[in-house]
């Protein structure tokens, strides 16, 4: 119902109110039978409110018309001229992931979960905690050198021995391309301020202390990269719920840390002014609407992991996590969760607006009907 129609109804209601006051003050009343007046007013109400008023008059709820109204509203919101029957709901989901969760950050409501508290290998999602701890300990203006030990980590990020980066640039490179040598170099440097004799060990200890402080009860770290330690032991473990909590904490307290993870690619410069082309390991980052942050992970033990934060619309940040999927399955899994979350939140908003609209109509209808009954009683008593 448009604002113009609402205003028209309010004006008509006020006119009726003025009329009832006039009748009560002794103005000449009609000799028309009360039942006929009731019938006429009922027809007028149907004309004002449409089918909804007739449903109220008959004591019904409009049958399937609430669904039609919701579908129409959904079409308007999505910019389509017909109802979209192909939207994914959480009830329809089949995921490859062993653990998953979707959280509406604004309300704290869990929209979907699958084994959300099972502790699973985290792989490079570990680097979220690496970035957080480093940011809380590192001194301003820090310049970090890439060591031989860092280059011995699995995976080649194209870094050179002795190459120097600002702390921020190295952290960005680590998160965007999931650089293991970058993560190790960062942890070794920052860990040196905690314990010069065993900097890497001290840094990992700080990661676990921080996890405990944040209430990540299913999370533990063995290294700063998330790389598997052996064929049977992962470099880090955690649950889907813990990963969502960690992502939410970083976004609320240090959102600048993860801004780079929204890029498809970027150039990261070392201190000599030479740049490294950095491509996001989240291949579907541009397919997720209004991405706020993301981080991938993959090892033999972990399988495919992915966490994303995005705005589902109407300023509703959502965090979705999948753990233990496949290398490609993590992307299809997360896209399903993103689409289902958008549908869930959209339907909730549409339903709330429809309920408000129907409530306003019902209140106005009840007021008019009450005025009519009072008038009829006055006539019967006169």
- List the structure tokens of 114: 């699958």
Spatial separation of the C-alpha atoms in residues 188 and 106, rounded to whole Å = 37
Among 69-78, 119-128, 226-235, 277-286, which is the least confidently predicted range?
A: 69-78
Among 13-22, 84-93, 155-164, 336-345, which is the least confidently predicted range?
A: 13-22
Evaluate whether residue 236 is within a structural domain.
Answer: yes
Are residues 61 and 110 both part of a single domain?
no
Are residues 193 and 221 both part of a single domain?
yes
- pLDDT at position 71 over 70: no
Q: Summarize the confidence of residues 326-334 as an average pLDDT.
A: 97
Evaluate whether residue 149 is within a structural domain.
Answer: yes
Check residue 107 and give its pLDDT: 92
Q: Summarize the confidence of residues 182-208 as an average pLDDT.
A: 96
Evaluate whether residue 337 is within a structural domain.
Answer: no
Are residues 8 and 134 both part of a single domain?
no
Tell me, yes or no, if the pTM score tops 0.75. Answer: no
Q: Position of tokens 């998330």?
A: 226
Check residue 352 and give its pLDDT: 55
Are residues 291 and 356 both part of a single domain?
no
Evaluate whether residue 338 is within a structural domain.
Answer: no
CA contacts within 13 A on the Cβ side of 322: 26
Number of independent structural domains in the chain: 2
Which of 135, 178, 187, 325 is an active site residue?
178
217 in active site:
no
**How distant, in Å, are the alpha carbons of 142, 144, 281, 296, 305 from that of 334?**
36, 34, 14, 11, 9
Q: Summarize the confidence of residues 271-298 as an average pLDDT.
A: 97
How does pLDDT run across 116-172, given as a tens digit for each residue? Answer: 999 999 999 999 999 999 999 999 899 999 999 999 999 889 999 999 999 999 999
Are residues 34 and 105 both part of a single domain?
no
Evaluate whether residue 151 is within a structural domain.
Answer: yes
Spatial separation of the C-alpha atoms in residues 288 and 342, rounded to whole Å = 11
124 in active site:
yes
How does pLDDT run across 226-241, given as a tens digit for each residue? Answer: 999 999 999 999 999 9
Spatial separation of the C-alpha atoms in residues 282 and 278, rounded to whole Å = 12
Check residue 52 and give its pLDDT: 41
What residues make up the domain containing 16?
Answer: 3-85+347-381
- List the structure tokens of 8: 């028209």
Check residue 315 and give its pLDDT: 83
CB atoms within 10 A of CB 202: 20
Evaluate whether residue 341 is within a structural domain.
Answer: no
Are residues 147 and 240 both part of a single domain?
yes
Q: Position of tokens 């300023």?
A: 315
The region, left, alpha or beta by phi > 0 then psi within -120 to 50, assigned to residue 59 is left
**How distant, in Å, are the alpha carbons of 179, 208, 320 from that of 170?**
9, 22, 26
Instruction: State the DSSP H helix or E strand holding residue 237, giving kind and residue range, or none if neither.
Output: strand 236-238
CATH number, domain containing residue 224? 3.40.710.10
Q: Summarize the confidence of residues 198-226 as an average pLDDT.
A: 98
Are residues 104 and 59 both part of a single domain?
no
Are residues 182 and 274 both part of a single domain?
yes
Evaluate whether residue 340 is within a structural domain.
Answer: no
Q: Which residue has the higher pLDDT, 261 or 347?
A: 261
Nearest to 291, CA basis, from 305, 307, 311: 311
- pLDDT at position 79 over 90: no
How does pLDDT run across 2-39, given as a tens digit for each residue? Answer: 444 444 444 444 343 432 333 333 334 444 555 555 55
- Asked if 218 and 117 touch (Cβ cutoff 8 Å), the reply is yes
Local confidence band at 280 (pLDDT 50, 70, 90 cut-offs): very high
Are residues 352 and 275 both part of a single domain?
no
- Asked if 305 and 311 touch (Cβ cutoff 8 Å), the reply is no
Q: Position of tokens 């999370």?
A: 219
Are residues 229 and 312 both part of a single domain?
yes
Are residues 81 and 103 both part of a single domain?
no
178 in active site:
yes
Which of 73, 114, 119, 127 is an active site residue?
127
Are residues 80 and 171 both part of a single domain?
no
Evaluate whether residue 265 is within a structural domain.
Answer: yes
Q: Is 276 helix (H, G, I), strand (E, B) or coil?
A: strand
- pLDDT at position 53 over 70: no
Nearest to 240, CA basis, from 311, 317, 308: 308
């Amino acid at each position: 119902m448009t604002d113009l129609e609402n205003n028209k109804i309010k004006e008509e209601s006020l006119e009726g109110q003025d009329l009832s006051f006039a009748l009560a003050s002794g103005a000449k009343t009609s000799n028309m039978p009360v039942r006929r007046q009731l019938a006429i007013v009922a027809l007028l109400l149907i004309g004002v409110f449409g089918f909804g008023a007739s449903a109220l008059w008959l004591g019904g709820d409009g049958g399937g018309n609430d669904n039609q109204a919701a579908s129409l509203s959904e079409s308007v919101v999505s910019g389509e001229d017909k109802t979209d029957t192909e939207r994914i709901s959480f009830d329809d989901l089949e995921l490859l992931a062993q653990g998953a969760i979707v959280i509406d950050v604004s309300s704290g409501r869990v929209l979907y979960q699958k084994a959300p508290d099972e502790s699973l290998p985290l792989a490079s999602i570990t680097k979220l905690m690496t970035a957080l701890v480093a940011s809380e300990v590192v001194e301003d203006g820090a310049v970090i050198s890439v060591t031989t030990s860092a280059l011995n980590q699995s995976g080649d990020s194209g870094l050179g021995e002795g190459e120097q980066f600002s702390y921020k640039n190295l952290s960005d490179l680590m998160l965007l391309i999931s650089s293991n040598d970058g993560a190790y170099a960062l942890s070794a440097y920052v860990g040196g301020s905690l314990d010069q004799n065993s900097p890497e060990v001290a840094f990992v200890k700080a990661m676990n202390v921080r996890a405990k402080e944040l209430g990540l009860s299913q999370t533990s770290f063995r290294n700063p990269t998330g790389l598997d330690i052996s064929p049977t032991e992962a470099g880090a473990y955690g649950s889907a719920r813990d990963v969502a909590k960690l992502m939410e904490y970083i976004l609320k307290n240090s959102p600048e840390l993860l801004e780079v993870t929204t890029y498809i690619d970027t150039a990261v410069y070392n201190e000599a002014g030479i740049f490294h082309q950095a491509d996001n390991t989240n291949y579907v980052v541009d397919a997720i609407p209004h991405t706020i942050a993301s981080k991938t992970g993959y090892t033999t033990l972990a399988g495919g992991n992915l966490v994303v934060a995005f705005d589902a619309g109407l300023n509703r940040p959502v965090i979705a996590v999948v753990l233990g999927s496949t290398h490609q399955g993590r992307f299809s899994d997360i896209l399903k969760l993103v689409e289902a979350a958008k549908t869930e939140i959209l339907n909730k908003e549409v339903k709330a607006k429809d309920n408000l609209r129907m409530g306003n109509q019902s209140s106005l209808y009840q007021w008019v009907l009450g005025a009519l009954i009072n008038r009829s009683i006055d006539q019967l008593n006169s």
